Amino acid sequence: MMVSALIERELTRVGAPVRNGVFVAVVGPSGAGKDTLIAYVRERLTDDDHVEFARRVITRNSDGATEDHDTLADAAFVDAEASGAFALSWEAHGLRYGIPASVDDAISVGHVVVANTSRGVIPALRARYAHVAVVEITAAPEVLATRLAARGRESRGEVLARLARTAPHDLSGPGHALIDNSGTPEIAGEKFLAVLRRSVAYSDVSGLV
């Protein structure tokens, strides 16, 4: 996974760190249920104008089965990246991912922005935004394997082997919450919702100081 070199130049352009609001980075392995939990809290926060859910740009067609995102071809993504269209961009698993630059404006006016990101970009996020909450969604290895095998792309044994090779990331730091989603989405979803409500309360206060 490689974070775009453009980020360092963009940090200077936007006068980082961007203050007032909170960037909530949702991270975790495939199969942990990040999209499911994001959908859970989004449905319960439809009336809260202070919480926004970033729509990612990915160099992959949207299949309608998982995340609803915008799609760009590789060349178009590179052009958009060079023009400053993204607050954050990175590469993983042969794809390019981007978070729209409009996120900076939302944070600067005290909003809470939720986005599905990569664990490897957390240092860049902490450099760009003054207030970052990291919500790490996990699940037991056997649960991850079962969920991923159900997608039909790999066997359960192949999935377990891949999970065993996954390199660990140190996500320790301020605002880190670990949520186990091995059970029903409602249990983990309510914990996630509590994190977001604390973030809203924090952004309300931080904008005054």
Given a cut of 50, whether residue 7 has pLDDT beyond it is no
pLDDT band at 9 (very low <50, low <70, confident <90, very high): very low
Q: What is the largest CA-CA distance in the chain?
A: 53
Region 94-109: mean pLDDT is: 95
Strand pairing category for 95-100 and 22-27: unpaired
pLDDT of amino acid 208:
44
Sole residue written with tokens 């409500």? 197
d(CA 37, CA 71): 22
pLDDT of amino acid 152:
72
pLDDT band at 62 (very low <50, low <70, confident <90, very high): confident
The reply to whether 191 sits in an annotated binding site is: no
Answer whether 32's CB lies under 8 Å from 140's CB: no
Query: For residue range 157-185, what is the model confidence (pLDDT) as tens digits?
Result: 777 776 776 666 667 766 899 999 999 99
Percent above pLDDT 70 for the chain: 82
In terms of Cα–Cα distance, which of 35, 6, 1 is closest to 114?
35
Composition of the chain by helix, strand, coil, percent to 5: 40, 20, 35
In terms of Cα–Cα distance, which of 36, 26, 41, 28 is closest to 184?
36
Encoded tokens for 37:
């939990």
The reply to whether 16 sits in an annotated binding site is: no
pLDDT band at 11 (very low <50, low <70, confident <90, very high): very low
pLDDT of amino acid 166:
65
The reply to whether 98 sits in an annotated binding site is: no
Sole residue written with tokens 């996630």? 192
Given a cut of 90, whether residue 191 has pLDDT beyond it is yes
Given a cut of 60, whether residue 66 has pLDDT beyond it is yes
Query: For residue range 117-136, what is the model confidence (pLDDT) as tens digits?
Result: 999 999 999 999 999 999 99
pLDDT of amino acid 73:
97
- Count of CB atoms within 10 A of residue 99's CB? 26
d(CA 2, CA 18): 23
Query: For residue range 22-59, what is the model confidence (pLDDT) as tens digits?
Result: 999 999 988 899 999 999 999 999 999 999 999 999 99
pTM value is 0.84
pLDDT of amino acid 188:
98
Domains located in the chain, CATH noted:
19-201 (3.40.50.300)
Percent above pLDDT 90 for the chain: 63
d(CA 195, CA 11): 26
Q: Decide: helix, strand or coil at residue 80.
A: helix
Across the chain, mean pLDDT equals 86
pLDDT of amino acid 149:
82
